[in-house]
Structure 1
């Protein structure tokens, strides 16, 4: 009798464990993505809020959570520390934060390039030459710093001709109202606010360096390689949102209004920012732009700037210390230290209708 009771209990326990294991196997893999407020990344808000992300994640049997992080640099730091599987960032920040920290990272979606969204703004001046000798308020070692360096170069100057005052992106717009602040470099939506100041004059913007500031959704290479379904779901959701935005109908208007409100502006204000952004609305537009030649040209400027400012990691011997995989698979830079990758594979699938 006791033997039969033990046998029954053992069988019940085994069945219970089997049920637990079966349930665990049914649970979809979960991935987390960090994004920050910027015109080119607001579609991720729309994708999350409208259920597009859930739709595409379900198609590939996974769970993807899109998380808004208010501090842009902190979001990248959290990604680099392993808190997120993916995050929005520019090409320069991808190189100088995760890649320089040894985190092999893939630019899964290059959604656009800044075409006026980053700018140098002065009071009491109307040209870049007028910036000489001034304190320039910006987020140090960010793309704003890069924009300033390129602007100074265009006017025959260097950073020795000015003084950088490090200012967070959260404070940069309000700082411009201080009479002592006479020069600033910043991006939208803060740029839009600063340009409302009666004395603000934009003396340089990213239209003069087209294609150099890329806005990216970056994913850990190891995670992407082990879970291609994540790349498919993110790419599919992104280009469906692009298709909706690119239409001339009520749905497109409603989508932009939703993004505008989340970005703290109205539809007209958001459209101003969109007009300064070269969005790749179709997979083919992205493929046509982000060739290996373009990627190498863009990153040559970025790596030089980053090396000069010591952003490529301790002891980096040269601008090409970090290897960069180009869209065709060729390696530019150090082949033994590849930590940044441009990947057109999933975008090509989207272009071919294979997602």
Structure 2
């Protein structure tokens, strides 16, 4: 899939629908008090708490507490899950910070990130054959999913090495094909994410020369919800946040209960417990709501989103925009990037703070 997973060319199709003609959004026809909600998810280690919570009854427990119903729905194609959310088929979806910006937000759908669940801490990486330093990437063809988080990781790596985008040539390769493509003797460099990354590391001569642990906190995995729906139904935000923290506390336990929960998540992801635990080891989960609030309110998040939006704009993901300011991003404390009259992506720490304060 495209998760951390990535973000592929299909994201560009939706980003092309950027709404720049008006500073205000039309009312959401579903932005009214409701009882039934649906949340989309796709397979990735950091998002497996959601389907597990549904199967284990944790979703129902929290939904019942607030007198609502929440249906957690799997979508096999990651980008399609975001497209469906953007089109209004879901009230919320699991998504990375980059894709939340370039698909729903850039398309004019006002979206709130209410749970900052984790960041990639090695789940995305750059592999070279026959070299063990990033400097050796110069002049090589790089296989990757273009205009994805992999592309963003490459851009940050080149920047760190004092290289330019023109110092390499990218070869657009789907996530489904990249393992096979990299196995060719002609393929000498690639950027991808787990589980493909772990498989490709096993190929002869492959070395990890840069990965997401070198840019901690920049590739974030979120639970986002339609802002108007959230405003009309704050209990949805409370329930989702309660579900998340109860479930991740369970999965982090070192006893038999925690092991069984992780094994079930691995099964739901079509993986083995060993492989799933390996992927978790390169995923920094925010199991403590206080830590998540601190990360969401820190100046570092503004810096990260500045990097992400500038990359997205420079690569044409804000179709029709004359500057990266065309899509506004709001942060806790009143800080805004871009046009404050066109804010369509909001980092809302309020529900995580409720969890931290024991008020859910």
Whether these two folds match at TM > 0.5 is: yes
The alignment yields a C-alpha RMSD, in angstroms, of 1.5
Distance 1:226 1:174, change over 3 A: farther
| Structure 2 counterparts to residues 20-31 of structure 1, below 5 A | 29-31=35-37
Segments ≥4 residues shifted beyond 6 Å: none
Unaligned runs of 5+ in 1: 1-27
For the 8 Å contact 2:48–2:269, the answer to whether it is kept is yes
Q: 2: distance between equivalents of 1:151 and 1:172?
A: 20
Q: 2: distance between equivalents of 1:246 and 1:99?
A: 32
Per the TM alignment, residue 292 of structure 1 is displaced from its structure 2 partner at its CA by: 4.3
Per the TM alignment, residue 265 of structure 1 is displaced from its structure 2 partner at its CA by: 2.8
Q: 1: distance between equivalents of 2:175 and 2:332?
A: 31
Question: 1:146 maps to which residue?
Answer: 152
Matched, 1:118 2:124: yes
Which residue of 296, 307, 320 maps to 1:301?
307
Question: 1:253 maps to which residue?
Answer: 259
Which residue of 334, 341, 357 maps to 1:352?
357
User: TM-score of the superposition, structure 1-length normalised?
Assistant: 0.88
Q: 1: distance between equivalents of 2:270 and 2:130?
A: 28
Distance 1:66 1:147, change over 3 A: same
| Structure 2 counterparts to residues 81-96 of structure 1, below 5 A | 81-96=87-102
Q: 2: distance between equivalents of 1:141 and 1:302?
A: 11
Matched position secondary structure for 2:99: helix
Q: 1: distance between equivalents of 2:147 and 2:180?
A: 20
Count of residue pairs the alignment pairs up: 327
Matched, 1:199 2:200: no
Question: 2:174 maps to which residue?
Answer: 168
| Structure 2 counterparts to residues 220-239 of structure 1, below 5 A | 220-239=226-245
Matched position secondary structure for 1:347: helix
Question: 1:339 maps to which residue?
Answer: 344
For the 8 Å contact 1:86–1:220, the answer to whether it is kept is yes
Distance 1:243 1:122, change over 3 A: same
Q: 2: distance between equivalents of 1:209 and 1:138?
A: 18
Moved more, 178-187 or 51-60: 178-187
Distance 1:133 1:295, change over 3 A: same
Moved more, 260-269 or 281-290: 260-269
Between Structure 1 and Structure 2, whose CA radius of gyration is higher? Answer: 1
Q: 1: distance between equivalents of 2:272 and 2:254?
A: 18
Matched, 1:53 2:59: yes
Distance 1:181 1:263, change over 3 A: farther
Q: 1: distance between equivalents of 2:299 and 2:224?
A: 20
